[in-house]
Amino acid sequence: MIKIGIVGGTGYTGVELLRILAVHPEVEVKCITSRSEAGMPVADMYPNLRGHFDLAFSEPDPEQLAECDLVFFATPHGVAARMVPELMKAGTRVVDLSADFRLKDLDVWAKWYGMPHESPEWAAKAVYGLPEVARDEIRKAQLVANPGCYPTAVQLGFLPLLENGLVDPSRLIADAKSGASGAGRQASTGMLHGEIGESFKTYGASGHRHLPEIRQGLGQAAGTGVGVTFVPHLLPMIRGIEATLYAELNDTADFERLQALFEERYRDEPFVDVMPFGSHPETRSVRGANHCRMALHRQEQSNVVIVTSVIDNLVKGAAGQAVQNMNIMFGLDERLGLNAPAMLP
């Protein structure tokens, strides 16, 4: 059994990790920390876990964490950067679900997160944990930076186009929409049901923290800098991200082979589902599941490829992908604990 620690477990990412790990046959959760809620049984905060976990939240204890085989960080930015070096020294492996180790350019990181990065050494060594791109590096990594939710949906949709040089990399548009759970569980007026229920809007349209992460990933796939416009929107629902992606084909004749190309690219991926050309993936088709489903579209006489890509922001966009990464790191079947169908309706 893999001994697991979770740092910062009171948010939606934390409870989602527990929901998934509850049915994972190869792990044992040893501790789940929260400074503010230390002492409270996890199941008192999250009654869906009644009968599944007897654990209470505990103060973070470096020694206890160091004894774990793997520690998940589900913390606000800055925390993992501070705590990870000590765990690395102790030989503990880490999957960080926060943004701390995703960006390689730490000036960019500092600008978007408003603080200097406290662990440049490990920022350089961390592996960006998108299994569809970096499975081999993840296998050997001690520190995996779990991708952001939007970047996962956007990158998976654009990758086959960019890797094959089929589209103009300077004219990418990602119009993305997320359920409210993406904003976490902190009390705020803006995320009240009374504010966001039965309404829809953009946010961060002039610039969002996930933009540099998307740019980094797509640039790597394209082998060149990319020009990407990324506009997030807030959906009046809880779980799910949909990204509608637009790119200009260099040669419209390539439309003929796009579907086959996408299917080939993801043929061996357990969690990417290329649906038939012209399908309309729904977020509910991946609710609670670790899948990304996507489909391609073309409008008549147009050279614009439209890709629509859906994930559950808490699963493939966070906790599920983290467990997928853990499975890879420990040589397990990548699907362990992640093979239940999405919940529909």
113 close to 107: Cβ distance less than 8 angstroms:
no
Contact stretch for a copy of itself (CB under 8 A) within 94-102, 112-120, 231-239, 316-324: 231-239
Among 15, 71, 159, 292, indicate the residue that binds a copy of itself (CB under 8 A): 15
Beta bridge mates, 41? 56
What residues numbered 295-314 form the site for a copy of itself, per CB under 8 A? 297-300, 302, 304, 306, 308, 310, 314
Pick the closer one to a copy of itself by CB: 257 or 280: 280
Tell me how far, at minimum, the Cβ of 47 lies from a copy of itself, in Å: 4
What residues numbered 93-152 form the site for a copy of itself, per CB under 8 A? none
Among 5, 19, 77, 319, indicate the residue that binds a copy of itself (CB under 8 A): 19
User: Alpha-carbon distance 216 to 167, whole Å?
Assistant: 17
Whether 149 is catalytic: yes
Residue 239 in the binding site for a copy of itself (CB under 8 A): yes
User: Alpha-carbon distance 77 to 83, whole Å?
Assistant: 11
What residues numbered 261-280 form the site for a copy of itself, per CB under 8 A? 273, 275, 278, 280
Among 118, 175, 254, 269, indicate the residue that binds a copy of itself (CB under 8 A): 175
Of 158, 131, 311, give the one whose Cα is nearest residue 222: 158
User: Alpha-carbon distance 90 to 75, whole Å?
Assistant: 20
What is the DSSP secondary structure assignment for residue 319, as one 8-state letter?
A: I
Identify the burial level of 254 via C-beta atoms within 10 angstroms of its C-beta, where 0-12 means exposed, 13-18 middle and 19 or more buried.
Answer: middle
Residue 342 in the binding site for a copy of itself (CB under 8 A): yes
What is the arrangement of strands in the sheet containing 127-128, beginning at the earlier edge strand? Answer: 27-33, 2-7, 70-73, 93-96, 143-145, 127-128
Residue 48 in the binding site for a copy of itself (CB under 8 A): yes
